[in-house]
Amino acid sequence: MARTSQRYDKQRYEAEYAAPWLEQCKTITGLADTINKQRMRYGTRLFTWLDGMELNGRLLEMGFNDGKSLVWLSEKYPYLEMDALDFNETLRCIEQPLRELVPSLKDVMYCDCTNVDKPDATYDVITCLDLFEHLPYYTYMNTLLECRRLLKDDGCLLVFVGQGEQPGHINLMTLKELLADAKANGFKVVEHREADRETLTVFAKNGEDKRATS
């Protein structure tokens, strides 16, 4: 598969990708039901990836969407302090029920993921699950660099890139391309974790920062 990159269209994303499920997630019951319907497929995958992995400290979820990963992460690691970020401001309407489902959730940010208002080395763990394929190429590259800035020296970055032609998938890439891009932005591979033939890659900081430019 060759890399494909399209221009991000905010209106198209919000109308075609978010709107169909968003209305029913505005209550804690509706959000919990939406997330539970995905537990068998995506929850099982996440728990398989994380089996035996110890995570501590403070975590940032980049691209939290409906919050399912936050809910499941809080179940497995209830002692983790969690922050969440998404560039889709329509998700503000589910913030309160999400906070009720994730008691350890601290800051929820709706902002540019390349310019996060947090100090250097804030986080022990950053997760980017099904995020990078939704970002224009240069935004994605600078998001990798911002993750490096935000991550502690002994922290880890967890990345899964979704595949296939779907609404909002504007930056498809191979695992080989992801690894090359991460290396160019100051990361090294710690390990790959498999679940149902899908790969979660664990990165650590390495080398010098290299600012990606448009």
- pLDDT band per the 50, 70, 90 thresholds, residue 186: very high
DSSP character at residue 62: E
Q: Taking the complete model, does pTM exceed 0.75, yes or no?
A: yes
User: Coil, strand, or helix at residue 11?
Assistant: helix
Higher pLDDT, 110 or 3: 110
Q: What is the pLDDT of residue 209?
A: 45
pLDDT digits (tens, 9 = 90+) for 50-85: 999 999 999 999 999 999 999 999 999 999 999 999
The three-point CA angle 46-75-164 to 5° equals 25
- The pLDDT of residue 214 is above 50: no
DSSP letters, 131-186, are -GGGS-HHHHHHHHHHHHHHEEEEEEEEEE---SS-TT--EE--HHHHHHHHHHTT
pLDDT digits (tens, 9 = 90+) for 114-172: 999 999 999 999 999 999 988 888 999 999 999 999 999 999 999 999 887 776 778 88
Separation between Cα atoms, residue 208 and residue 204, nearest integer Å = 13
Q: What is the pLDDT of residue 109?
A: 97
Query: Domain coordinates of the chain in residue numbers?
Result: 9-205
Chain mean pLDDT for the chain: 88
Was domain 9-205 assigned CATH 3.90.1580.10? no
Nearest in space to 49 (alpha carbons), one of 206, 204, 191? 191
Residues above pLDDT 90, as percent of the chain: 72
